[in-house]
Structure 1
Amino acid sequence: MKLGSSAGQYFKEVGDLAARNQVFNPKELWEKARKGNKKAEIALIENNLRLVFPIAKKYQKYGIELSDLIEEGNLGLIHAIKKFNPRRNTKFSTYAVYWIKQFIRKAVEENSKDIRIPTYIWENLRKWIKQWESLHAQFGRYPTVTEMTHKLNLSAKQIQNIIETIEMFHSIKSLETPIDENGELFVKDVITDKSLKTPDSVITSSKLHDDMLKALNKLNARERSILNMRYGLMDRQSFTLEEIGKKLKISKERVRQLEKRALYQLKWIAHKMNLV
């Protein structure tokens, strides 16, 4: 579909397409689409086009036309529809958003030489990296996004801007790439000390730590305790099976069995949370 002159026009066009398909049962549409029915596939695409615009809009600051970003996002949506299995206990919108972002990011990466990121975002990024290193040294572990947000006193929108910037950081191929609006700030200026972690590893570490905590909290207390001690998840200090057994007053073999069960549970939970 063609992009209208405004967001309102775009959503009106998308809404009209979705309304046209309301006569179809969603479950039937998926069944037909999985069997190769092109009309059902098109109906599913039209029903979910609304997912693309908000994501494309966020990446507009990287210097690519919104219409091009939407086109890439639409390709991601089509890919998601072809790959999605409605029998799995996963919401399609969550699955689709992942692929829409992947396709849009790829387009941004391919045009990375033209990226211009507002200076204020990079200033916040510098603060983020400096604070991350400070908390990492203080805690002896990766600080969580929540801890970083509290310490920096930044708004949710500012944090989101930093995270989006980091997610695109790996696409910049050269340290000499200009990244600010005036072409005066370069990637090398952001990383002033080679001993510092790169920005993408900093934010990824924080996000993964948060996700890990969420997954661990879904285990029972004993399983969580065993994994924490076995792998040093919280304080970087790990223990042998025998040492854990003595602490919990159970046999070494029993610790091994509980560890195996906990890891299986954690993998299943992570899968349900779309972490793996």
Structure 2
Amino acid sequence: MSTRANTSMSEDTLKMYYERVKQIPLLTAEDERDLSMRIQAGEDAARSHLIEANLRLVIKIARAFANFDVPLIDLIQEGNMGLIKAAERFDYRRNVRFSTYASWWIKQAVTRSLVNSRRAIRLPHRKEELIKRINKTYGYLSQTLSREPTNGEIASELGITEHNVHEALEMSYSVMPLEGDSEDDESGSVIDIFADETYSPDLALLKDSVREKTLELLEALMEKERQVLIYRFEFYGNKKKTLKGIGETMGISAETVRQIEKRAIRKLREHSDYAEFIGA
């Protein structure tokens, strides 16, 4: 079969798929809660319903990676695998919409597929690092805000301009660095971003339901770690500050603040009492 015929077949298949997916009603937050409860009770029909109602989310995300030499239909299929995993892991008690939670798993599945294709073009190291920071911040804010953050919110968190965020995201869609350089393990890559368990949606850290217990455990942290978390999560009535803002207050860089925060959260997660409260 010729390449043109194959392309035509793929386009026809996608068109039919789009039309079918558009007919599936979207879910309300209450619908998602009900389905999650039924899934946890072992109901396969509820799992299928949650997955089918979010197929258009996979299409939206897959299209963002369509500039690579990988057929869109293949990216959608991989994204659907991520959606299935999200449906199986979603917990209604975490008070976050399923689309926010599932986006992480879908992007992870799609980027892993692109890595395996070996067709991605690398970006300069500095650009890779910026994209990595933006994506980590996106994941973090998605959890804390229980919605997708705006470019402005990401920019404020990182202490850069909204234009910088927009430009970096556009670049990441057209030329996405996917694999780390074997000679430079510190360079980072997009696959590292989505594989970073620290920012996995499974980690519902410092939620309101465990805030009181967390305050008790803060006393077990080092002074700087405790101070960073107090500012970051508005404990004791403090107004939330950005990484840059905390750095200015403490006389350290925003990156140092991020590392301290990461270390402090890891310590809390490893504490047996805290793990019990968050269901880790």
TM superposition score normalised by structure 2:
0.49
TM superposition score normalised by structure 1:
0.50
**Structure with larger Rg:** 1
